[in-house]
Amino acid sequence: MIRFENVGLRYGMGPEVLRDLTFEIRPQSFQFLTGPSGAGKTSLMRLLFLSLRPTRGLISAFGKDTSSLQKGQIPALRRRIGIVFQDFRLLDHLTTYENVALPLRVLGQEESQYRGDVVELLKWVGLGERMHVLPPVLSGGEKQRAAIARALITRPEILLADEPTGNVDPPLARRLLRLFIELNRLGTSVVIATHDLGLMEQVSARRLELADGRLQIHD
């Protein structure tokens, strides 16, 4: 689905932060992206989300060479990829329901088309009773689940989650992990960036380990 071939990344004139990355995200796969703080996990997630271009190498997404795409063609590919940011990025003036529905509103859909899907998804992540609440009233774990629901509402083929359990306690982290596992079982490829060894030990999954800008793969 997404393939990297000898990808390198540097910011400005600085040293390469990612070097010679060659790997692929396969259909219906589940993997952890790990490595020490500052290893480049967030940069790699941005490359996977196509919000950042590599300095060198080739990234192909859904069979298309991303370097040959026009700027206007990228958003259509990115809609096939969901992302959960570390800082949630919920809009405080919108309810939980409105935050989750926002990607569909941006696409021009009428509420009558998506209301049932949004409500069903909020119930699935355990927020059925909190859908009309504003984000400042939500706990950290509830915000995280709202962010996951928003990433899933467009039914992406790949879900990227950047430290999704970094702001929650261990019992909620396990609950979130079960959500990701269930999502993967339903057919979505999942990439979770984390440094939480306890989380990774709970499921047998492929590990992509970043260190000194290079990637080691443990299948």
Residue 131 located in a structural domain = yes
Residue 143 located in a structural domain = yes
The C-alpha angle 85, 90, 94, rounded to 5 degrees, equals 165
| Residue among 83, 21, 26, 17 nearest 50 (CA) | 83
The pTM of the whole model exceeds 0.85: yes
Q: How far apart are CA 76 and CA 120, in angstroms?
A: 25
Residue 81 located in a structural domain = no
pLDDT tens sequence across 154-201:
999 999 999 888 777 788 888 889 889 999 999 999 999 998 888 899
The percent of residues in the chain predicted with pLDDT above 90, rounded, is 74
The edge-to-edge listing of strands for the beta sheet with 2-10 is: 16-25, 2-10, 56-61, 64-65
Residue 109, pLDDT score: 93
Residue 109 structural domain: 89-155
Residue 18 located in a structural domain = no
Residue 96 located in a structural domain = yes
Residue 203 located in a structural domain = no
Counted domains in the chain? 1
Residue 176, pLDDT score: 86
Residue 130 located in a structural domain = yes
Residue 70 located in a structural domain = no
Residue 215, pLDDT score: 95
Sorting pLDDT into bands at 50, 70 and 90, what band is 18? very high
Q: How far apart are CA 158 and CA 87, in angstroms?
A: 20
